[in-house]
Amino acid sequence: GVIGLDPKPDALHITPRLPKVLEFAAVRDVSWRGAKLCIRVMSTTVKIDGTAADGSTASLQLDIQLGETAVLNASDIPTHKN
């Protein structure tokens, strides 16, 4: 899709595929490794806000080149396996 989410066993790969008419796209309440994520992608930036099951939060911004993949490792966002 437009967001380009590709979950792997050890990381979440995000490759934005925005059409030129869109400045950004976002998705909320993505469940990944026990965390709830809000992911916002622009052509060269991926912003991620996450909340773990224990209520701890984290924010992350990944700057990428056009067409590149941002990789969110399990250690980047506080998560808890259920």
3-state helix, strand, coil in the chain (%, to 5): 5, 50, 50
Q: Which residues pair with 63 in a beta bridge?
A: 45
Q: What integer pLDDT is reported at residue 78 of this predicted model?
A: 56
Q: What is the mean pLDDT of the chain?
A: 88
Q: Which backbone phi and psi does 5 adopt, to 5 degrees? A: -75, 135
pTM of the predicted model as reported, rounded to 2 decimal places = 0.86
pLDDT tens profile 15-26: 999 999 999 999
